[in-house]
Amino acid sequence: MKALILTIGDELLIGQVLNTNAAFISDKLSGAGVEVVRQLTVGDEASEILRALREGYDALDAVLITGGLGPTHDDITKKALCTFFQTDLVSDPGVRQCIERFLAQRSQPWSDASEEQTLVPRGCTVILNHHGTAPGALFERGGKYVFAMPGVPYEMEYMMNDFIVPLLRSRAGGKTIVHRTLRTTGIPESVLSARLGNIEEMLGGARLAFLPSAGGVRLRISVVDADSGRAEARARAVEERIRAKAEEFIYGTGEEEIEEVVGRLLVERGLTIALAESFTGGLVSHRLTNVPGSSRYLLASVVAYSNDAKRAILGVPAELIKTQGAVSEEVAVAMAAGARTVSGASLGLSTTGIAGPSGGTPEKPVGLVWIGYADRERSFARRFTMGGERVRIKERASQSALELIRRTLLGLS
């Protein structure tokens, strides 16, 4: 079954709000075995809605519409549906009862707008709205479906979860889509692609997407299969083949962030950590503390932005900063060791670098980064060069710092 998602609203076309509805509906349909082939957004304009409806209806099996059902939108979606299915609006007693109950619960009075809301296209199946006053509608004609839902996210979400997904799942004809995402970092998209080799062969009919972002490249495996168990098994088999070639760069799966992975490794090993950040300015620490329960392993973090602070709080010798410079291997190591000492943590991690836009020199350009590590037995620092602007360099460096801890804990580097 193939579907079009049609979102309606001028506010989307001027970029005022993000289209979270399209993502939500896509996610739900995908899980129900319905393939979304297009998402289309048009304004509050009857001709555009009709054109889109015609196009989706002719080519595909289902059209899911959100928006344009509220009382302020001139009921443009309902009227368009009437035009399209050659019918008219009729007041529905079930909807009236539903709206009366909704308003009574909130001590709100009945109004002209409420009366308007009781109208639905004649001949549709009404989808009652228990979370708002605009009813939804379903037209089912010769194996094709058109759903209309309100644009308010939680009203739409309840209609999807309680009515539309169960209905479509039962009629989608069995196929399951399984997605599996592997998250990599520290390897550019092109190098990763080369490393995987003959991708078509590896996939055996599955699909693979490369999704790059500042933190790394995500690999998404998609498998369509009539049997859900077999779909899972095929996705797992592809994952194994990818892991065989790039295991060390894969830090997590699905929605898992590297800070969660690092947190889990620290808990498993009973270790604590302290940070000494210079140019990343607290970002590494912020990310680690986004994870619930991070107070179990993160003891402290010192953002030593000035050289005085590096000296006074972390005990980095002034002489070292003077001779080697604040952005150097030696200072990175001393900062990591200092973070350990001042906090009593098992591990120390440090960052020092030049985020720009100014402050670079030919020997030490903007984007030069040293990341330092210290534990009871050893200490070292790694050099990186990061491209992009200030905030981007901070983001990349924070990812590299977390990856350095991950690899070190796993004995990978």
User: Is residue 413 part of the contact set for its own copies (CB under 8 A)?
Assistant: no
Taking CB under 8 A as the criterion, the residue among 74, 88, 240, 256 binding its own copies is 74
Question: By CB under 8 A, what part of segment 99-128 binds its own copies?
Answer: 102, 105-109, 111-114
Name the token pair of 335: 């900062």
Taking CB under 8 A as the criterion, the residue among 172, 223, 238, 275 binding its own copies is 275
- Closest alpha carbon to 41 in 27, 62, 60, 20: 20
Choose the stretch contacting its own copies; rule: CB under 8 A; options: 34-42, 84-92, 225-233, 262-270: 34-42
Contact 281, 271 (CB under 8 A): no
Question: By CB under 8 A, what part of segment 293-332 binds its own copies?
Answer: 293-295, 298-306, 308-309, 312-313
Taking CB under 8 A as the criterion, the residue among 189, 248, 329, 330 binding its own copies is 189
Choose the stretch contacting its own copies; rule: CB under 8 A; options: 83-91, 161-169, 349-357, 369-377: 349-357
Query: C-beta of 86: minimal distance to its own copies in Å?
Result: 25
User: Is residue 42 part of the contact set for its own copies (CB under 8 A)?
Assistant: yes
User: Is residue 181 part of the contact set for its own copies (CB under 8 A)?
Assistant: yes
Question: By CB under 8 A, what part of segment 201-260 binds its own copies?
Answer: 207-214, 220, 222
Contact 278, 353 (CB under 8 A): yes
Contact 158, 152 (CB under 8 A): no
Measured from the CB atom, is 122 or 205 closer to its own copies?
205
Instruction: Compute how many residues bind its own copies; rule: CB under 8 A.
Output: 121
What span, in angstroms and rounded, lies between the C-alpha atoms of 409 and 407?
Answer: 5
Taking CB under 8 A as the criterion, the residue among 90, 191, 244, 410 binding its own copies is 191
Taking CB under 8 A as the criterion, the residue among 1, 8, 22, 98 binding its own copies is 22
What span, in angstroms and rounded, lies between the C-alpha atoms of 120 and 261?
Answer: 51
What span, in angstroms and rounded, lies between the C-alpha atoms of 358 and 102?
Answer: 59
DSSP state of 135: P
Query: C-beta of 183: minimal distance to its own copies in Å?
Result: 12
Number of CB atoms found within 10 A of residue 183's CB: 23
Residues counted in the chain = 413
What span, in angstroms and rounded, lies between the C-alpha atoms of 10 and 205?
Answer: 40
Measured from the CB atom, is 24 or 87 closer to its own copies?
24
Contact 380, 333 (CB under 8 A): yes
Taking CB under 8 A as the criterion, the residue among 147, 279, 370, 373 binding its own copies is 279
Taking CB under 8 A as the criterion, the residue among 94, 173, 174, 188 binding its own copies is 188
Buried b / exposed e over 344-380, threshold 16 CB at 10 Å, is ebbbbbbbbbbbbeeeeeeeeebbbbbbbbbbeeebe
Choose the stretch contacting its own copies; rule: CB under 8 A; options: 41-49, 79-87, 89-97, 228-236: 41-49
Measured from the CB atom, is 125 or 389 closer to its own copies?
389
To which H or E segment does residue 207 belong? strand 207-213
What span, in angstroms and rounded, lies between the C-alpha atoms of 366 and 261?
Answer: 30
Measured from the CB atom, is 13 or 126 closer to its own copies?
13
Query: C-beta of 321: minimal distance to its own copies in Å?
Result: 14
Number of CB atoms found within 10 A of residue 115's CB: 13
Taking CB under 8 A as the criterion, the residue among 71, 123, 315, 360 binding its own copies is 71
Measured from the CB atom, is 52 or 321 closer to its own copies?
52
